Amino acid sequence: MFLKTQIRRYAVEWIEKLSKGKQFTPSDIYNYIKNRFPDECDEAGYTADGLEPKYQKDSRWAIQDCKNRREIRQSQHGLWERI
């Protein structure tokens, strides 16, 4: 599968390493990415509208990638579970 950014790849890898049944929120991914790869996050900048850091948008796309591959499911609004 083609992933558009390295940050998105890091987020997918983080999700894939979670144990089965582990629940997480997008904020968990944001924190991991920002703390582990601060230079890449700063370099990515903001979305075209300037309202959101690109690393957050890429992290949400990583959730969608994993959802499409049936690796995760949404257990509640804003809460995802590794399956």
- Look up residue 32 and give its two tokens: 């991991």
For the packed helices 54-68 and 26-36, what is the interaxial angle rounded to 10 degrees?
130
Give per-residue pLDDT as tens, 11-24.
999 999 999 999 99
Question: Domains of the chain, with CATH numbers?
Answer: 6-82 (1.10.10.10)
Band of pLDDT at residue 3, cut at 50, 70 and 90: low
pLDDT at 2 exceeding the cut of 90: no
Question: Looking at the whole model, is its pTM more than 0.75?
Answer: yes
Residue 28 is which amino acid? Answer: D
Give per-residue pLDDT as tens, 27-71.
999 999 999 999 999 999 999 999 999 999 999 999 999 999 999
Please, are residues 41 and 33 in contact by the beta-carbon 8 Å criterion?
A: yes
